[in-house]
Chain A
Amino acid sequence: MNAASDVLVIGAGVIGAATAYFATQQGLTVTVLDKGLPASGTSSACEGNILVSDKELGPELELTRYSLDVWHGDLAEHKRLWEFESKGGIIVASRESSLASLNRVMASQAGYGVRVDRLDPDDLRKAEPHITPDALGGAFYPEDCQVQPMLVAGHLVRLATQAGARFVADTPVSGFLRSGDRVTGVRTPRGDFSAGAVVNCTGTWAGQLAALAGVSVPVLPRRGFVMVTEPLPPMIHHKVYAAEYIDNVGSSDAGLQASPVVEGTPSGTILIGSTRERVGFDRTVSTDALRLLAGNGVSLFPFLEHVKAIRHYHGFRPYCPDHLPVIGHDERAPGLWHAAGHEGAGIGLSAGTGKLLAQALAGQSPDLALAPFAPARFGEQALNSTTHREEATA
């Protein structure tokens, strides 16, 4: 048996790393397990978005605003570690119909306090000189930011371990330790780990881990491809995406969709994202996805036609049926907590999620109510447990 801790975090992606970091800030003893190395799942296969611009009124916007405060507050001193850029986002409309929807969205967002400025075609070309001549107008979101997500996860785990946490790599969880209904730890090939609270931060795999504890958490994978260009001098200055993006984010359509999201990175490469399709954990490279990304990238920035792609990657975005994450204690399996299912927004939401969860784990009332994210909200009964049950021995 390994040393017991107050909190056992499963998964060292960005959500687990933030949870571990803030738990140590609360004075809790923390152990982090990962089946591989830090940031080797979805956190390493995304775009590092911290977006306000794609959010509508509701709990996700609340969590987004709270997270932004944490990024700019608690985590400000570490910004440079993970290439934090307050670059701002621009949504571009190239059709009259999408311009009309964009104007509607902007009006409603402004109504609930999102900072957004209308861009006429001249403003747009000043902000992004290489934008398509078809652009009819756009919206500027100064609060949108970007980070290098792998570095966020890697450094938060490092900072947590410096504050006393223990990180154990290459340690998959094979089952839960129970004392009656209560979850008291996990089993792994490296022995048992016991803890006062076990936090499931396994992202797209959260449903599988929850099933080991006999509870249903409906987190599903949605595959997304991102294409990367050769390094270039700065050509694109903001996160630039098309008005259709907003519609796709909230969609449950299983088919392949893509809307252009184009942005430069500090290293000079340009990221062209991203597709969304529900194909399970299929890792087969899809030429259709590449064709769509390329075509949509060129439609926003025509110069891309003559640029070379040098890489592409894909990740599995974890999403729940209602497109809200699962954050908080699972009363169906006392002692088990979840923080997963943030879909394409996990990087941005990680800071707030980690801080709120750490407050709750420390027995405080979190700054933001976690009720909308309750793990049991989907109403399923606890599944028949396939878990290896045993009385706690510690």
Chain B
Amino acid sequence: MSAALPGTVEADVAVVGAGPAGLAAAVASAEAGAAVVVVDAGPQPGGQFWRHRPESVEPDPDGKGHHGWRTYRDLRARFDAARHSGRITYVPGQQVWMAEKVHAGFVVRTTPTVTAGPTSGTADGGSTVVARRLVLCPGGYDRQLPVPGWDLPGVMAAGGIQAFIKGNGGLPGKRFVIAGTGPFLLPVAAGIAEAGGQVLAVLESSSPKAWLPHLRAAAGVPEKALEGVEYGAVFARHRIPYRIRTIVTEVLGTDCASGVRTAKVDAEGRVRPGTERVYRDVDVVGFGWGFTPQMELPLSLGVETRMDADGSLVGVVTERQESSIPGLFLAGEVTGVGGATLAVLEGLTAGTAAAAAPAPAAVVPGLRAMARHRRFAEAMHRAHPVPAAWQDWLAPQTTVCRCEEVTAGEITAARDDLGAHHARTLKSFTRAGMGWCQGRVCGFAAACLGAGPGAAPSIESLSGAAKRPLAAPVGIGELAALKNTDD
């Protein structure tokens, strides 16, 4: 990217994120007359969900393998039009490392996106956005649970595999096993098969029976059933085995993943003896245990939080998607993981409200649709929980924090011997979550281990795991060059 970066930009509304929620929020705000700045870590709009190959390579992507592509095309056309007319200033390739509430509104400070781990050398500098209102749509990332061997090369997050396919048009391997829980495993496996990969099995820890108490909620969103039928056809065409109440108990391999050991589990996730099975010649193991919303920015601004049905920490919002901090709006995963359709509806609502525009007539049907999607999401979370007994799958020497190489045994020792029941204290005692990723990968698992077998972490522990005073790594040279922006 060679576009000159603005130093300081002022706007009515700042939107962080350009995925489904962020694009929708930006478009709604701009169309309601606000001057909008959109800051996004990605190089082009779409976020994780609508990630696509570089537009320089493929200027007019056909949306193959995407859902809601028509919605994307519509939002994107309106986004581009608003950019053209000067309503939207788009700042791609920049991560927000800090957001502050000031007298005049909000200050958002950005730094060039770091794509692959630690680097040396500062590229171009960051920018500073000052806006009267702020809409945070930072999305989420795959929730990971450690299991013996999960730190081997070749083990990926299910969402990481999908992003790889969408972003590169290729595959990260040839023979795959996909495991975890939830409907998201289906599009990942289908995407692999359609791209020419072989999926040896999809392993679902839960069972379709878990949906039975929630059929009413599921029926409220019939398009999800249609998606299911679509995946069923792909699975049949590619002969992908779908095994329920089954987990990966160990990733096999020495230098990289070469296979998996699996087992049947009961409803709590306890392994049923005698059901072990081994899959060999596996290149890539993809795990998906739901998603963790990126809460560092909302938390740094002090929003009120709650625990969602999937055990994630999320922000509390009003009907207009406003957080407990006036002028700060949240949309998408940070208000509850519920899929792209819901994220778009929330983004439209938040963007309209942030532009301080009166709610248009379309808002009421939007509210109803959001309520339906939220009921569906809750049903899905309850039908696909993280298995209560997952901690039993760990061996003491299983790595939990990959950055700092902290094992499950070290964490449980700190819990039992040193009284570290919260993620924050565990971090102090064991360094779990102190490395490069700052606990984004292991934070949920460490909080669960602190709470103890079968127990859910407290909201305080989850907050401790999710607070990151620097929301992204930032160059010390950049920090030294900061200007004093007292209001």
- Given contact pairs A285-B100, A312-B469, A158 touches B480 in the complex (Cβ within 8 A): no
B358 at the interface (CB under 8 A from A): no
A-B contact pairs, 30 of them (CB 8 A): A38-B418, A40-B425, A151-B428, A154-B418, A154-B419, A154-B429, A155-B418, A169-B419, A227-B476, A285-B98, A285-B100, A290-B479, A291-B480, A294-B476, A294-B477, A294-B482, A295-B479, A297-B476, A305-B122, A305-B475, A305-B476, A306-B121, A307-B120, A307-B475, A309-B476, A309-B479, A310-B436, A311-B438, A311-B470, A312-B470
The 8 A-B pairs at the shortest CB distance, nearest first, are namely A294-B479, A150-B428, A305-B477, A294-B480, A154-B418, A308-B473, A295-B480, A291-B482
A167 at the interface (CB under 8 A from B): yes
Q: Are B114 and A154 in contact (CB under 8 A)?
A: no
**Nearest-CB distance from B457 to chain A (Å)?**
14
Q: Please report the C-alpha to C-alpha distance between residue A304 and residue B120 in the assembled complex, in whole angstroms.
A: 10
- Given contact pairs A39-B428, A44-B428, A230-B473, A310 touches B438 in the complex (Cβ within 8 A): yes
Q: Are B473 and A309 in contact (CB under 8 A)?
A: yes
Q: Are B480 and A37 in contact (CB under 8 A)?
A: no
Q: Please report the C-alpha to C-alpha distance between residue A34 and residue B475 in the assembled complex, in whole angstroms.
A: 38
Q: Are A305 and B480 in contact (CB under 8 A)?
A: yes
B300 at the interface (CB under 8 A from A): yes
Chain A residues with CB under 8 Å of B114's CB are: 308
Q: Are A230 and B436 in contact (CB under 8 A)?
A: yes
**Nearest-CB distance from B474 to chain A (Å)?**
6
A313 at the interface (CB under 8 A from B): yes
Q: A231-B436, A308-B475 are in contact. List 14 more A-B contacts (CB 8 A).
A: A37-B420, A39-B428, A150-B428, A154-B419, A158-B419, A230-B436, A231-B435, A287-B482, A290-B482, A294-B479, A294-B482, A305-B122, A306-B121, A309-B476
Q: Are B421 and A308 in contact (CB under 8 A)?
A: no
Q: Are B477 and A231 in contact (CB under 8 A)?
A: no
**Nearest-CB distance from B481 to chain A (Å)?**
8
B109 at the interface (CB under 8 A from A): yes
Chain B residues with CB under 8 Å of A294's CB are: 476-480, 482
Q: Whose C-beta in chain B lies nearest to the C-beta of A307?
A: B476
- Given contact pairs A154-B418, A157-B419, A307-B120, A285 touches B300 in the complex (Cβ within 8 A): yes
Q: Whose C-beta in chain A lies nearest to the C-beta of B120?
A: A306
Q: Please report the C-alpha to C-alpha distance between residue A33 and residue B421 in the assembled complex, in whole angstroms.
A: 16
Q: Please report the C-alpha to C-alpha distance between residue A291 and residue B476 in the assembled complex, in whole angstroms.
A: 9
Q: Are A285 and B418 in contact (CB under 8 A)?
A: no
**Nearest-CB distance from A43 to chain B (Å)?**
9
**B residues 432-460 in Cβ contact with A at 8 Å:** 434-436, 438
Q: Are B425 and A298 in contact (CB under 8 A)?
A: no
**Nearest-CB distance from B178 to chain A (Å)?**
31
Q: Whose C-beta in chain A lies nearest to the C-beta of B482?
A: A291
Chain A residues with CB under 8 Å of B98's CB are: 285, 287
**Nearest-CB distance from B103 to chain A (Å)?**
13
A267 at the interface (CB under 8 A from B): yes
A229 at the interface (CB under 8 A from B): yes
Q: Looking at B120, B468, B470, which has the most chain A CB atoms within 10 Å of its CB?
A: B470
Q: How many A-B residue pairs have CB under 8 A?
A: 124
Q: Are A158 and B475 in contact (CB under 8 A)?
A: no
A247 at the interface (CB under 8 A from B): no
Chain B residues with CB under 8 Å of A310's CB are: 436, 438, 470, 473
A322 at the interface (CB under 8 A from B): no
Chain B residues with CB under 8 Å of A157's CB are: 418-419
A380 at the interface (CB under 8 A from B): no
A288 at the interface (CB under 8 A from B): yes
Q: Please report the C-alpha to C-alpha distance between residue A229 and residue B119 in the assembled complex, in whole angstroms.
A: 12
Q: Are A37 and B421 in contact (CB under 8 A)?
A: yes
B245 at the interface (CB under 8 A from A): no
Q: Whose C-beta in chain A lies nearest to the C-beta of B468?
A: A311
Q: Mark A144-183, 1 if CB is under 8 A from B, else 0.
A: 0000001100110110000000010100000000000000
B485 at the interface (CB under 8 A from A): yes
Chain A residues with CB under 8 Å of B469's CB are: 285, 311-313
B188 at the interface (CB under 8 A from A): no
Q: Mark A4-32, 1 if CB is under 8 A from B, else 0.
A: 00000000000000000000000000000
**B residues 401-427 in Cβ contact with A at 8 Å:** 403-404, 414, 417-422, 424-425
Q: Whose C-beta in chain B lies nearest to the C-beta of A297?
A: B476
Chain B residues with CB under 8 Å of A285's CB are: 98, 100, 300, 469
Q: Whose C-beta in chain A lies nearest to the C-beta of B417?
A: A158
Chain B residues with CB under 8 Å of A40's CB are: 424-425
- Given contact pairs A308-B473, A311-B469, A37 touches B425 in the complex (Cβ within 8 A): yes
**Nearest-CB distance from A290 to chain B (Å)?**
5
Q: Are B434 and A306 in contact (CB under 8 A)?
A: no
Chain B residues with CB under 8 Å of A306's CB are: 120-122, 475-477
Q: Looking at A37, A150, A290, A308, which has the most chain B CB atoms within 10 Å of its CB?
A: A308
B264 at the interface (CB under 8 A from A): no
Q: Mark B291-308, 1 if CB is under 8 A from A, else 0.
A: 000000000100000000
Q: Please report the C-alpha to C-alpha distance between residue A305 and residue B118 in the assembled complex, in whole angstroms.
A: 14
**Nearest-CB distance from B444 to chain A (Å)?**
19
Q: Please report the C-alpha to C-alpha distance between residue A287 and residue B414 in the assembled complex, in whole angstroms.
A: 34
Chain A residues with CB under 8 Å of B87's CB are: none
- Given contact pairs A39-B428, A294-B480, A308 touches B418 in the complex (Cβ within 8 A): no
Chain B residues with CB under 8 Å of A309's CB are: 470, 473-476, 479
Q: Are B414 and A154 in contact (CB under 8 A)?
A: yes
Q: Please report the C-alpha to C-alpha distance between residue A167 and residue B109 in the assembled complex, in whole angstroms.
A: 43
- Given contact pairs A231-B435, A308-B473, A151 touches B404 in the complex (Cβ within 8 A): no
Chain A residues with CB under 8 Å of B418's CB are: 38, 154-155, 157-158
